[in-house]
Amino acid sequence: MREKRPNLSASILASIRAHKNRGVGGHEPHDRSKGMLIASYNVHKCVGVDGKFDPARTSHVIREIGADVLALQEADTRFGERRGLLDLAWMERETGLFPVPVNGVTKAHGWHGNAVFLREGLVRDVHQVKLPGLEPRGALITELELKDGSMFRIIAAHLGLLNRSRHQQARVILDFLSSREEQPTVLMGDLNEWRLGDRSSLNTLASVFGLPAAVPSFPSRLPVLALDRIMANRPGLIDAVKTHDTPLARLASDHLPIKAVLKLGKLPFAEEIETG
């Protein structure tokens, strides 16, 4: 039987119905006894849906989220010498988050706009993987050591706009994983893919990560498309993915942040961050 694909009109109607119940968009602080909070956020180069460039507003959304591990997309300028757009000193002071260090950049926060921030932890390895395609794209892969000595891998990626490129990029990520030791792994980012089926890059990733639930996050004011994803290579590693839907988040970027709780033995990170 041919797989039934999501219907865009149905998604729009569902989003309109959900929009009526969004209310003021309040949120509760994360209870860390339930596990680590991980999140992904395309910050749209800190330009909001009102057209204003406002890094402080973006930073306040990040503080609202309260994540322990955060993957950002479009965190740097795109052309020339890439430059990070956030105030890292403010981020550390107000959110407790530190950026994972990357090589070969002086002013950028991350790799091809992908940045990973941690509240606590030991960074054991960082891989800056170039992804093929017409646009300059990359994946930032970070291997972390937890307090009990176990390892945990985060893949932060922003896939391309072209379907063919997304398939190629997905295969590069899977090829990299096949060359590394198997360990709990989460892929987070703007995958620019909402469709399912044989032509979807999600189908390419499914052999390792399964098919993630669709959580509409774009556009932020009336989310219809599930472009942003959090996917795990083990069943039960993450709980249900949700959007961080607040008035500020709806304004600060054209994407809503998405988040999930990591169920990795409910272990906290170690006390220090290794910066190289």
- The pLDDT tens digits of the residues spanning 164-220 come to 999 999 999 999 999 999 999 999 999 999 888 878 999 999 999 998 889 999 999
Taking alpha carbons only, the member of 215, 210, 193 closest to residue 260 is 215
Q: Kindly state the tokens that stand for 146.
A: 């937890």
Q: What is the mean pLDDT of residues 257-268?
A: 78
Q: How many other CB atoms sit within 10 Å of the CB of residue 247?
A: 12
Say which residues have a Cβ less than 8 Å from residue 33's Cβ, sequence separation at least 6.
266
Q: What is the pLDDT of residues 10-34, one digit of tens each?
A: 555 555 555 555 544 556 778 777 8
Confidence of residue 276 (pLDDT cuts 50, 70, 90): very low
Spatial distance between the Cα atoms of 243 and 184, rounded to a whole number of angstroms: 23
Confidence of residue 272 (pLDDT cuts 50, 70, 90): very low
The enclosing H or E element of 117 equals strand 115-118
Tell me the DSSP string of 27-59: -----GGG-EEEEEEE-GGGB-TTS-B-HHHHH
User: Would the pLDDT of 156 be above 80?
Assistant: yes
Confidence of residue 235 (pLDDT cuts 50, 70, 90): very high
Query: 3-state DSSP call for residue 276?
Result: coil
Q: What is the mean pLDDT of residues 61-73?
A: 97
Phi, psi dihedral angles at 71 (to 5 degrees): -105, 125
Q: What is the mean pLDDT of residues 105-129?
A: 93
Q: What is the pLDDT of residue 19?
A: 53
Taking alpha carbons only, the member of 139, 170, 144, 169 closest to residue 156 is 139
Spatial distance between the Cα atoms of 194 and 32, rounded to a whole number of angstroms: 30
Q: Give the chain's domains with CATH numbers.
A: 34-121+186-262 (3.60.10.10)
Q: What is the pLDDT of residue 270?
A: 42
Which range (51-65, 80-94, 164-178) has the least confidence?
A: 80-94
Diameter over CA atoms, the chain:
55
Spatial distance between the Cα atoms of 1 and 217, rounded to a whole number of angstroms: 30
Q: What is the mean pLDDT of residues 257-261?
A: 97
Q: What is the pLDDT of residue 265?
A: 67
Q: What is the pLDDT of residue 16?
A: 54
Spatial distance between the Cα atoms of 276 and 274, rounded to a whole number of angstroms: 6
User: Would the pLDDT of 269 be above 60?
Assistant: no
Burial class (CB in 10 A: 0-12, 13-18, 19+), 81: exposed
Question: What distance lies between CA 273 and its chain's CA centroid?
Answer: 20
